[in-house]
Amino acid sequence: MIIDFVNYAINGALLGLLYALIAMGFVVIYRASKVFNFAQGELVVLGGFLQWWMVVSMGLPMIVGIPLAFVLAGVVGLLIERIFFARLVGESVFAMVMVTIGLLVLLRGVVLVAFGPQVRPFPIVFPLQPLVIGELMIPTNLLWGGVLTVLAAIGLSWFFNRTRTGLTMTAVAEDHQVALSMGISVKRSIAFAWILGCVLSTLGAVVFLSGKSLNFLASEIGFAALPVALLAGLESIGGLLLAGVIVGVIQGLATAYLDPLVGGAVGSVLPFAIMLLILLVRPTGLFGWRTIERV
């Protein structure tokens, strides 16, 4: 049925936008420090648990608890920078990336100790009732998520390309020394990037988990969002939207039409296959910065 096809495509696109939102966390940190954060999925889980803690465990009303969780997430970002990255200024990017791998193991443990391995209910932030337009049925959390993603992308694009603070962050990523010579505080920039990354992950957790359940395994979304980040190119925030939609639609259609044929989860590997193919054609993604080599 053609209407189904449209529905799968729309829902796929919205799912892709959720991936784009998660991937935005990667991009923000990358754009400000050239560090690819492998622990992004764990940050999503942490953001989710902070909200669970505030709203379900502490019993705060959502209107208070969720903003509070965002503040806490920002504090976590700051702590990560202070504890790990502040000491690594001047070390190679490679070392910093390796730290994020250590962080992945560490954060998983922290979540287990602080919140336990139990499956927890996540607050119902968006109405459970899907939006029904004729035959089309659109999940509300993804719809709102899509809107939030687009808004966040516009906001961050503007921030990075137009505002002084955003541009100085880019300057830090490009060249620590030049940034220093112009009086930019490298540490503050990187701290801000991590705070932003943590807050975005928490936002991603709201959309991802609203009304569902949560435990540490939810971190897998970090890797699911990876093809979107790479497809867009690691620097492009606007590009994430398009890449998200491409990946999401293909995944949505594959899950609907290919999975039953094959009898397996084609939808989950296809994004990686597309990513590989596109990277072979355009090595820095669709919108990533081409490397300008200086010899």
Partner 1 sequence: MSKPRAPGFATLAAAAALACALAAPGAALAQTSYGVAMLSDYSGPYADVMPMLGRGREVVLDWWNAEVGAKLGVKLNHKNFDTRYDAAQTASLWPGIKSEMKPIAVLGLGGPDVAALSQRLPDDGIPLFMSTAGYGYAWKPDSWIINPRPTYTHEHAGAFKWLKSRRGGSQPLKVGIISSEASPAYVDIARGIERYAKDNPNEIQIVETIFTEVQPTDLSTQVRRLVRGGVEAISIQTNTAAVVATKRALQGLGAKVPVITSSHNGLPASGKAAGGLDQMEGDYEVYGMAIASDEDTPARRFYEKLKAGYKLAAPWNALTVMGMSQSLYTVRVIEHAIKKHGAQNLTGAKVRETLYAEPVTTEETFGMLPTLKFTKEAPFPIEGLKVNIATIKGGKYVTAATNVDTPAVKKW
Partner 2 sequence: MDPAGVFAVRYAQDRALLRTRKQWLALAIFLAALALLPLVVGPRLIAVANIMLISAIVVVGLQICTGYAGQVNLGQAAFMGVGAYTAAVLAEKTGLSFLLTIPLSGVAAAGFGFVFGLSAARIKGFYLALTTIAAQFVFHFAVLNLPGSWLGGSNGATVPPATLFGYRIASDTSLYYLCLICTVIMVCGAFGIVRSRFGRAFVAVRDDDVAAGIMGINVVATKATAFLVGAFYAGVGGALWAYMLRFVAVDQFTLFNSVFFIAMIIVGGMGSVVGALIGVFVIRAIQELITTLGPELAASLPFLGGDIVFASMNVFLGGSIALFLIIEPKGLMHRWNIVKAGYRLWPFPY
Partner 3 sequence: MLVLNNVEVMYSEVILALKGITLAVQPGTCVAILGGNGAGKSTTLKAVSGTIESEDGEVSGGSITFEGERIDGLDPAEVVRRGLVHVMEGRRVLRHLTAEQNLIVGGHLAPGAAELRRRLDRVFSFIPPLGGLRERTAGYLSGGEQQMLVIGRAMMAVPKIMLIDEPSLGLAPMMVQDVFALLARLKAEGTTLLVVEQNSRVALELADHGYVMENGRVVLEGTADELRRNEDVREFYLGMTAEGERKSYREVKHYRRRKRWLG
Binding site for partner 2 (CB under 8 A): 36, 38, 84, 87-88, 91, 94-95, 97-99, 101-110, 112-113, 116-117, 223, 226, 230, 234, 262-266, 268-269, 272-273, 275-276, 279-281, 283-285, 288, 291, 293, 295
When binding is defined by CB under 8 A, the residue of 3, 58, 93, 128 that contacts partner 1 is 128
111 contacts 52 by C-beta, under 8 angstroms:
no
Q: Which residues, listed in sequence order, are joined to residue 285 by a DSSP beta bridge?
A: none
* Cα angle 246-274-36, degrees, rounded to a multiple of 5: 90
Instruction: Considering only the stretches 30-38, 166-174, 230-238, 251-259, report the one whose residues sit in contact with partner 1 under the rule CB under 8 A.
Output: 251-259
Taken as a whole, the chain contains a residue count of: 295
Task: Select the binding partner of residue 273 from partner 3, partner 1, partner 2, none (C-beta < 5 to 8 A, by kind).
Answer: partner 2
77 contacts 188 by C-beta, under 8 angstroms:
no
Rounded Cα distance between 32 and 232, Å, is 17
Can you list the positions of beta strands (E) in 135-271? 136-138, 213-214
Rounded Cα distance between 192 and 57, Å, is 29
Rounded Cα distance between 213 and 279, Å, is 35
Interface positions, 27-86, toward partner 1 (CB under 8 A): none
The reply to whether 119 sits near partner 1 by the rule CB under 8 A is yes
Cβ proximity to partner 2: between 58 and 112 the closer is 112
Question: What minimum distance in Å lies between the beta carbon of 128 and partner 3?
Answer: 44
DSSP annotation of 288 reads S
Question: What minimum distance in Å lies between the beta carbon of 135 and partner 1?
Answer: 10
Task: Select the binding partner of residue 57 from partner 2, partner 1, partner 3, none (C-beta < 5 to 8 A, by kind).
Answer: none
